[in-house]
A and B are shown apart, each in its own frame.
Chain A
Amino acid sequence: MLTKRIIPCLDIKDGRTVKGTNFLGLKDAGDPIELAERYCTEGADELVFLDITATHEKRKTLAHLVKKIALKINIPFTVGGGISSIEDINIMLNNGADKISINTAAVNNPMLIETLANNFGSQCIVVAIDIKQINGSWKVVTHGGRTKTDLDAIEWAKQVSERGAGEILLTSMEHDGTKNGYAIDITKSIRNEVTIPVIASGGAGNKQHFADVFHIADADAALAASIFHYNEIPIPELKKYLFDKKIPVRI
């Protein structure tokens, strides 16, 4: 049976793992290579690296880091953060990344999704969608949450799926870092509207939150950061809990 995936996410800034709340107030959370190895050993199903510095010069440093991590870990990993060109993606893949996550660049140029899916295959292209409730409706935000758009979250998710993305990484900016649980309703709505897997992100604070996002929203995977970085919820313990709740997980 296909299992639900648990995905630790490492936000990378200047070669270190950082974590903030509602995308702000960054704190150092450790060495990304050490964290990656630990997660791999503990039974994480995938890893996601988001480079939040994402300037051209810094990206070369990121490529080195990607390679160091790729040589060590034996589970899939996704790299994102300011990546948009075929050249950038080739660099990351040649350094051992398995998938690439794109976000603002896809909103600015939706055709990019087709172009990249045709070049690298859908399985390689994860479209990250950051969302925020504005006047009661879920809208897409870009540039790490700094820019609002008029784009409806569900409409954008459908478009992303139709244009050939392999997966959607859905982050509610309001929930991110709050530890109050995932944005269940909108995750469920989007999960029902698209045919590709949806990774829920933002808000995990306890084990019940994971059970809810799998049971109620039927997310295909759940991503979290700080609760794993600081070992508040060890991955083996989380998986055992989900298994006991009859949620299929790899143990």
Chain B
Amino acid sequence: MKVSVIKYNAGNIQSVLFALKRINIEATVTDDHEEIMSSDKVIFPGVGEAGSAMKYLNEKKLTDVIAELNQPVLGICLGMQLLCRYSEENNTTCIGVFDDVEIKKFNNKELRVPQIGWNSIQNLSGPLFNDIDENSYCYFVHGYFAELCSNTIARTEYGSPYSSAIQKNNFYGVQFHPEKSAETGETILKNFFNL
């Protein structure tokens, strides 16, 4: 299986590569259009800030490449958010695969922001969550979130419920970090590679 991890200016992807290695997946980190388009599976990782990430992706003309992928794509954390239409983080227009999903800022004064730590996932649906129990715990680090929508395949509570995973056709997005979510995360990654 040919796996590409999209290379761009958003944070540390070593953890993702190590997690893939633990489940015996060899991946190539690349921003080469052909390489990405010819992969069987594509991982779109990322931690960091939406505006500068989109600027970089636009300059490298990666946004159109990503939007037109037909194979299974997994956006993780910022990667998931960038697949949506718009992010409140620096008023950023994103790639828009999830064309009616907007990314909002946690603005409840009672909450610590960013949310850091293990939270549970509920209302799980679809093959990504095969063999995953309701209320399993995953590791989250984020200050912005996707609202509940028709694409929601998992929800999580932080102040109020939001989408901890979304899906549209071949595009999957998870707000948590499966690469750092112990056995639950490993199962979710394996499920993605079994799609």
Name B19's contact: one of A2, A3, A74 (CB within 8 Å): A74
**B48 in the interface, Cβ–Cβ < 8 Å?**
yes
Is A74 touching B119 in the complex (CB atoms < 8 A)?
Answer: no
Q: CA separation between A72 and B18, bound complex, in Å?
A: 8
Q: Assuming the A-B contacts A121-B47, A195-B112, are A74 and B118 also in contact, with contact meaning beta carbons closer than 8 angstroms in the complex?
A: no
| Chain A: interface residue total (CB-CB under 8 A) | 32
Is A197 touching B116 in the complex (CB atoms < 8 A)?
Answer: yes
Name B119's contact: one of A3, A70, A72, A75 (CB within 8 Å): A3
Nearest CB of A to B62, in Å:
20
Q: Assuming the A-B contacts A40-B182, A123-B47, A250-B137, are A70 and B116 also in contact, with contact meaning beta carbons closer than 8 angstroms in the complex?
A: no
Contact partners of B137 in chain A: CB under 8 A: 3, 250
Contact partners of A72 in chain B: CB under 8 A: 22
Contact partners of B116 in chain A: CB under 8 A: 123, 166-167, 197, 220
Is B180 touching A166 in the complex (CB atoms < 8 A)?
Answer: no
Q: Is the interface of A mostly helix, strand, loop or mixed?
A: loop
Q: How many A-B residue pairs have CB under 8 A?
A: 87
**B21 in the interface, Cβ–Cβ < 8 Å?**
yes
Is B118 touching A70 in the complex (CB atoms < 8 A)?
Answer: no
**B38 in the interface, Cβ–Cβ < 8 Å?**
no
Contact partners of A124 in chain B: CB under 8 A: 11-12, 47
Nearest CB of B to A153, in Å:
19
**B117 in the interface, Cβ–Cβ < 8 Å?**
yes
Nearest CB of A to B51, in Å:
12
Q: CA separation between A58 and B1, bound complex, in Å?
A: 39
Is B112 touching A196 in the complex (CB atoms < 8 A)?
Answer: yes
Name B112's contact: one of A3, A96, A220, A250 (CB within 8 Å): A220
User: From B158, which residue of chain A is reached at the shortest CB distance?
Assistant: A2
**A139 in the interface, Cβ–Cβ < 8 Å?**
no
Is B11 touching A121 in the complex (CB atoms < 8 A)?
Answer: yes
Name B118's contact: one of A121, A196, A250 (CB within 8 Å): A250
**B65 in the interface, Cβ–Cβ < 8 Å?**
no
**A178 in the interface, Cβ–Cβ < 8 Å?**
no
| Chain B: interface residue total (CB-CB under 8 A) | 36
Is B12 touching A93 in the complex (CB atoms < 8 A)?
Answer: yes
**A45 in the interface, Cβ–Cβ < 8 Å?**
yes
Binary A-proximity of B156-195 (CB < 8 A = 1, otherwise 0): 0110000000000000000001011111011000000000
User: From A198, which residue of chain B is reached at the shortest CB distance?
Assistant: B112
Nearest CB of A to B43, in Å:
16
Name A2's contact: one of B118, B179, B185 (CB within 8 Å): B118
Is B18 touching A71 in the complex (CB atoms < 8 A)?
Answer: yes
Contact partners of A98 in chain B: CB under 8 A: 12, 15, 180
Contact partners of B142 in chain A: CB under 8 A: 123
**B114 in the interface, Cβ–Cβ < 8 Å?**
yes
Q: CA separation between A133 and B185, bound complex, in Å?
A: 42
Is A71 touching B114 in the complex (CB atoms < 8 A)?
Answer: no
* Cβ < 8 Å to A, chain B residues 53-105: none
Contact partners of A196 in chain B: CB under 8 A: 112-114
Q: Assuming the A-B contacts A96-B14, A123-B47, A124-B47, are A5 and B118 also in contact, with contact meaning beta carbons closer than 8 angstroms in the complex?
A: yes
User: From A121, which residue of chain B is reached at the shortest CB distance?
Assistant: B48
Q: CA separation between A230 and B11, bound complex, in Å?
A: 36
Q: CA separation between A74 and B112, bound complex, in Å?
A: 24
Is A74 touching B22 in the complex (CB atoms < 8 A)?
Answer: yes
Is B183 touching A74 in the complex (CB atoms < 8 A)?
Answer: yes
Additional 9 contacts, C-beta under 8 A, given A195-B112, A221-B117: A1-B157, A2-B118, A75-B181, A93-B12, A120-B12, A121-B47, A196-B113, A197-B116, A220-B117
Identify the A interface with B (CB < 8 A).
1-5, 40, 45, 70-72, 74-76, 93-98, 120-124, 166-167, 195-197, 220-221, 250
